[in-house]
Structure 1
Amino acid sequence: MASKQMVHMNQGQGETSYARNSGIQNALQNRLKPLIEAATVELCSSTNTSFPEKMLIADLGCSSGPNALALVSIAVEAIHSHCLQLQQPPPEVCVLLNDLPDNDFNTVVKSLVMLHQSNKPAVVTVGITPGSFYERLFTSGSMHLFCLSNSLNWLSKVPEDLTRNRIPAYDVDEHARSERLPMVFEAYAQQFRKYFTLFLELRAKELVPRGWMVVSLTGRRSDDCASKFSHVWEIFAQILSVMASESRSRAMIDRA
């Protein structure tokens, strides 16, 4: 799909880069720490299966910057702590980082040295797996733990009902937007249900028996399209729509 080749966070380490503007995402990742620790303890526990000699862990939608290693670092540290407590030799750990091909993997690779330096007691290898997590990424029955933080809200394409009828996800005209809002919400809800089901089916094939997946994504409790939560994003959408319109206008002037 074309979206795989062009959708990515701002690259590099500059002022407007994702690496320097992802504090909110980092805070959400930190909330997953106790869940990831519990999952890794369960995976390492002798009451679950025989103590594993090797473990494969993946962050799906890792992006770039310091957040790219946050979730897998929690898992690796939890494995080491549990093995130390049980006086067991730690397993060999393979960490796999996934995102779309145009993700800033160059920056990610440069930060991998920190992961190796902070986990000397065990063998930790790291791999990059570019691609959409709405497709198969790993071999069957190979993965022990998947981690995802606020990446499943990204769909691979606009719902076909909207593109077929040429309905934008956000219309600057307030009257048109109000009329179309329920239709847009339902179209994206159906698209999410379809892709989330596909995602679960794919990961189920890739997980080892009794493997784990720790997932977080932002949602809202209210079914009201005009909830306060939606209103906040409506302001952002209006700003982005105007910026996109101005960009198209400049492009037309340049071509002229």
Structure 2
Amino acid sequence: MASKQMVHMNQGQGETSYAHNSSFQSAEQNRMKALIEAAVVELCSNTTTLSHGKVVIADLGCSSGPNAVALVSIALEATHSHFLQLRQPPPEVCVLLNDLPYNDFNAVVKSLVAVRQIGEPVVVTGVVPGSFYERLFPSGSVHLFCSSNSLHWLSKAPEDLRMKQIPAYDMDENVRRERLPVVAGAYARQFKKDFTLFLQLRAKELVPEGRMVVSLPGRRSDEPVTETSLIWGTAAQILGAMASEVNTSFTF
């Protein structure tokens, strides 16, 4: 549990903070806009799902800064627009933002203040610290889950690599290439295990006929080595060299 709590993006609002260095993630969120709007329309059109006149929306892996409320804001605007077109009062909305406990929730709460001031629909907000590889919400309580650029973070490093003391990234290029199929296979199996667990947990927490809109990075090629991975490999070499210079253990 301690390892989960230690992982977080750079906090605060400074030059090196996640809030000022997350334009790639913001662009990905913008690409999800149409999907979230469609999901909201489907939810709002189902009288059974909204039988109590309330909607619960949760963002999993919200991080901090402007991106923290981007997805839920899209969902809120879509809800308001849908009922405005129908000339009906919108349902009450509960917005919940989740991330690991050491996330910069101080910044997140400040962002939520603006969300609460929208006016209509009535918005109640909250934060839910914890891993999305665990239960986070009561059974059958959430209408819409959103998550962007979060699910590639695994619950842990593959156990078989740890037991064999095989690093995810080796500074020796020949050794790295030789081990690549083993390392890639181990991480693929861990992702399958984690993603299956994630879906099982969210299935319990969703209301009947609830919706989930998820985005995560990937590639079309089955080949482990691509132009993109080579770019990240260069970055890993630089970080590895820096870690060696300061005599600090560093895991990629």
Which amino acid in structure 2 is aligned with residue 35 of structure 1? L
Determine the structure 1 residue equivalent to 2:130. 131
Distance of 1:17 and 1:142 partners within structure 2: 33
Determine the structure 2 residue equivalent to 1:77. 77
TM-score, normalised via structure 1 length: 0.94
**Deviations along 1:112-155, whole A, 9 cap, x unmatched?**
222123x2122101011000000000000000000000100001
Determine the structure 2 residue equivalent to 1:109. 109
TM-score, normalised via structure 2 length: 0.95
Deviation at 1:39, TM superposition (A): 0.3
Q: Identity percentage over the alignment?
A: 70
Superposition pairs of residues 181-200 of structure 1, within 5 angstroms: 181-200=180-199
Deviation at 1:51, TM superposition (A): 5.5
Determine the structure 2 residue equivalent to 1:171. 170
**Alignment gaps of 5+ in structure 1:** 251-256
Which amino acid in structure 2 is aligned with residue 142 of structure 1? S
The answer (yes or no) to whether the contact 2:43–2:50 under 8 Å persists in 1 is: no
The answer (yes or no) to whether the contact 1:63–1:104 under 8 Å persists in 2 is: yes
Superposition pairs of residues 1-256 of structure 1, within 5 angstroms: 1-46=1-46, 49=49, 53-117=53-117, 119-248=118-247
**Deviations along 1:18-67, whole A, 9 cap, x unmatched?**
00000110000000000000000100014775555000000000000000
Distance of 1:63 and 1:247 partners within structure 2: 28
Which amino acid in structure 1 is aligned with residue 163 of structure 2? R
**Deviations along 1:202-239, whole A, 9 cap, x unmatched?**
00000000000000011011111221121111112112
Distance of 1:39 and 1:70 partners within structure 2: 16
Query: Number of residues paired by the alignment?
Result: 249
* Secondary structure of the corresponding residue to residue 248 of structure 1: coil
| RMSD over equivalenced CA pairs, Å | 1.4
* Secondary structure of the corresponding residue to residue 98 of structure 2: strand
Distance of 1:39 and 1:169 partners within structure 2: 37
**Alignment gaps of 5+ in structure 2:** none
Distance of 1:19 and 1:45 partners within structure 2: 35
Distance of 2:187 and 2:63 partners within structure 1: 23
Determine the structure 2 residue equivalent to 1:254. none
The answer (yes or no) to whether the contact 1:220–1:229 under 8 Å persists in 2 is: no
Cα distance, 1:100–1:246 mapped onto 2, change above 3 Å = same
Distance of 1:230 and 1:52 partners within structure 2: 48
Which amino acid in structure 2 is aligned with residue 159 of structure 1? P
Deviation at 1:242, TM superposition (A): 1.6
Cα distance, 1:96–1:51 mapped onto 2, change above 3 Å = same
Which amino acid in structure 2 is aligned with residue 198 of structure 1? L
The answer (yes or no) to whether the contact 1:143–1:206 under 8 Å persists in 2 is: yes
